[in-house]
Amino acid sequence: MTNIPEGEAEDEMSLYNFKLVGLISGKDHSYISLVNSGGEVITLGLGQHLGKIKLIDLRLTEAIFKKEDETYIILDFNNQIRETNEY
């Protein structure tokens, strides 16, 4: 059983309803691709929002989002989601 915070599963734009399927990092622009359970692919660039969270950084195998409360959510290719105060 997964540990999804209350209210996240019902929010269709929650990161908990997506899987990280692609990551492209370049000198000037960086993007990630996420897919939901319906197979819909969403591509985000740095600085863009997914619901209430903002994509702020990429690493080799993970995407880092900033929440409204100034904490962070990190998603990797194993679909592991970590919430942290810093990254």
Q: What pLDDT is recorded for position 57?
A: 96
Question: Cα dist. 85→26, 36, 42, 65 in Å?
Answer: 27, 26, 26, 11
5 in a structural domain: no
Q: What pLDDT is recorded for position 2?
A: 56
45 in a structural domain: yes
Q: For residue range 17-35, list pLDDT tens digits in order.
A: 999 999 999 889 999 999 9
Q: What is the mean pLDDT of residues 68-83?
A: 96
Q: Which residue matches tokens 């939901």? A: 36
9 in a structural domain: no
Instruction: Show the domain range for 57.
Output: 15-84
Q: What is the mean pLDDT of residues 46-70?
A: 96
Identify the CATH number of the domain in which residue 41 sits: 2.30.30
Q: State the pTM of this model.
A: 0.86
Q: At residue 1, does pLDDT exceed 60?
A: no
